[in-house]
Amino acid sequence: MSIIEGPPPSQVELEKQLADAPPQVGLTTPQQTASKKSKSNSEKAASNKTPSKPSFPGEELNIRISTGRTNYVITNKGAMISNIFLAQHKTIKDELIDLVEHKNSAVLPLALESNNNQVTEILQNAYYEPSTMSMDLSESNPSGKLKMQLVHSSGLTVVREFTFRYNDFMVDITTQIQAPAFASQNLSYNVLLGPEIGGKTTSQTDYIVFSGATTFVNNERLETPPEDIVNEVIYRGDLSWTSFQNKYFAAALIPKEGIKSAVVKKLGDNVYVGLKMESVQSSASSSHILYAGTKELLVLENSGHKLMRLMDYGWFGNKFAFLVKPLLKVLQYFYGIFNNYGWAIIFVTIIIKIIFFPLTHKSFKSMKGMQKVQPYVKVIQERHKNDRQKMNEEMIELYKKHKVNPLGGCLPMLLQIPVFIALYHALFFSIELRGAPFIGWVKDLSVADPYYVWPVLMGASMFLQQKLNPSIGDPTQQKIMMMLPIVFTFLFMSFPSGLVLYWTVNNILTISQQAYIYKFSKD
């Protein structure tokens, strides 16, 4: 088999391309590739008299595309994507995040697949002719196209066109396949994404967030765990996208024209998502969009195509998603002012306290009334210590007479629980807070305080708040209540420092409000 290729770029151009590539790419020169390939082929020939795959003449070239936010490396072998580097996000090793998961025996993202093995071999292993070897987009050069063309001796022709835009995670892709020699076989085609997604980050919430194949079809978000895939799972209907996603990043295929349905399938041990292309007489044409980037709230909102449904706050957190989104937007607003999410959290806390101030004020006045009736409560407890029913009856009458509510102090706490849960999930699952520093030792508000300073401050403020509250209930209950600050201190040691910061500031503001009411409020 042979292919028709254009003239290869000069050595000078290749050297410049490789010099300009990001250091994490780890590309090889065509000469190195050819040498390795020659060695590999000779080894295979020695072990197998008949090679399992056809040989394809040519050399592997790597095309570099820079869009500002993203650096793509596209190989002309199969016209697939070798790397998707996110320019603004790094691993703990200070390397750029790569959304391509590299596994042995796996095909790269955007691989074309046919129900004919011979055709699949050509589509994935032949060398396409690129229209350019590099592309650097900017504000003055906001978009660019890369055309990859294959003309094979079998009569199979493929044209793929990629349209990139500056600072955009979305790539428009069109594919045209002509296979007249296979017209009688009625070939079908898939475009595949996988295996899985790179850029995984280890966190304490890995067990909460689903990471893997996710499809949005018929206005429903469907997750497909690997164990549910026997061969393949087909999704038909009103298809918005199919994707791989983890806590912070996602890669999705969005259908436009010439797409029948989505597929999630296993090839060996690897899982892929894909789009099934419509074909007529073994020829097909389709267009779709590749989204490969972050799960940022505003980015997903502006991208359309219902990509907002990529967001996942866990089974429980999704119930409060209606609060998570506005909280994130308010945080981002204050971040725009202070350029620091820690100060943004503090000001959001102040706003929340102002909103809840009337209820809190009423609650603390009720608690102040409880302090005044405590002597009478003790008398009743002593008088009816052997008759709990009679004791409770008299206490109820006492509370009615003095117009106090022993549970009134719980109301502000109960009302803040949804806000707390929403902020908890916002800090845990939103990439906006990933790597956001505050002051000093707090380098990342989305992870726990490494020195436990804020959890200790939170526990101390909670203890002081408990001391200000009136003694309610029997001594055993009082002891339990005084133990809560210690319990919460140890619990919050594993919480995101941003969440602990919110709770600490909230406690301090509550103590100030409490002290004011107890000192200056009139009966």
pLDDT at residue 53, as a whole number: 47
Judge if 299 and 353 occupy the same domain.
no
Judge if 228 and 354 occupy the same domain.
no
How many structural domains compose the chain? 2
Segments forming the whole domain that contains residue 122? 11-312
pLDDT at residue 406, as a whole number: 67
In a domain, 406, yes or no: yes
Report the amino acid identity of residue 463. Answer: F
Long-range contacts of 486-494 (CB under 8 A, 24+ apart): 486/459, 488/458, 488/459, 488/462, 489/455, 489/456, 489/458, 489/459, 489/462, 490/455, 492/454, 492/455, 492/458, 492/459, 493/448, 493/449, 493/452, 493/455, 494/204, 494/448
In a domain, 3, yes or no: no
d(CA 369, CA 363): 10
pTM of the model as a whole: 0.76
Judge if 354 and 459 occupy the same domain.
yes
Judge if 302 and 337 occupy the same domain.
no
d(CA 30, CA 296): 38
One digit per residue, the tens of pLDDT, for the chain of length 523 reads 333 333 333 333 434 433 444 433 333 333 344 444 444 444 443 333 333 445 687 889 999 999 999 999 999 999 999 999 999 888 878 889 999 998 888 899 999 999 999 999 999 999 999 999 999 999 999 999 999 999 998 889 999 999 999 999 999 999 999 999 888 888 999 999 988 888 776 555 555 677 889 999 999 999 888 888 888 899 999 999 999 998 889 999 999 988 889 999 988 889 999 999 999 888 999 999 999 999 988 899 899 999 999 887 766 667 777 888 888 888 889 999 999 999 999 998 898 888 877 777 777 666 666 667 777 777 777 787 777 788 878 878 777 777 676 666 566 667 777 877 887 777 777 888 888 899 889 998 888 899 999 999 999 998 887 777 655 555 666 677 778 888 889 988 988 888 899 889 988 988 887 777 766 655 5
d(CA 320, CA 422): 6
Pairing of strands 270-277, 259-267: antiparallel
DSSP classification of residue 38: H
In a domain, 496, yes or no: yes
Residues in Cβ contact with 161 at an 8 Å cutoff, skipping those fewer than 6 apart: 145, 146, 147, 148, 173, 174
d(CA 146, CA 110): 14
In a domain, 5, yes or no: no
Judge if 365 and 407 occupy the same domain.
yes
pLDDT at residue 291, as a whole number: 97
Judge if 351 and 209 occupy the same domain.
no
Judge if 514 and 434 occupy the same domain.
yes
Q: How many residues does the chain have?
A: 523
CATH number for the domain spanning 98: value is: 2.70.98.90
Q: Which backbone phi and psi does 290 adopt, to 5 degrees?
A: -105, 120
d(CA 419, CA 415): 8
Beta bridge partners of 64: 73, 134
